[in-house]
Amino acid sequence: MVSAPQNTSRRPEPAPFGEAPVPGRRTQGTGYGVVRHTGPETEVSFVSTALIQHLFQLDENLFPRHKVTASSGPYRVSQGILHVRAIGEWTIEMID
């Protein structure tokens, strides 16, 4: 849930799941991000320039189902929505 005063010029609007990027061989972002992994369980490399970084798998209600990591490195992920929480730049790269 996000709220803002009535006089705020910016209005956040939810985007459909279909607009979440599907990771290619390498997906990059900055800050918070969502990536939709549509393939089978695979190994990914998660790298971030941030001191604080987390990678979660979300359930169908967008709640964290599984914390994948709080550090860089290769990890196995299953099909679904991956949520990156980082302060800085990050990269998810498919290894398999």
Q: What is the pLDDT of residue 81?
A: 87
- Amino acid 94 reads M
- 27-76 pLDDT tens trace: 888 888 888 888 888 888 888 887 778 888 988 888 888 888 877 778 88
Q: Is 48 exposed, middle or buried (0-12, 13-18, 19+ CB in 10 A)?
A: buried
Which CATH entry fits the domain spanning 21-94: 2.60.120.10, 3.40.50.10170, 2.60.120.380, 3.40.50.1100? Answer: 2.60.120.380
What's the pLDDT at 42? 86
Give residues with Cβ within 8 angstroms of 62, minimum separation 6. Answer: 81
The confidence score (pLDDT) of residue 37 equals 83
pLDDT per residue as tens digits for the range 7-16: 777 666 666 7
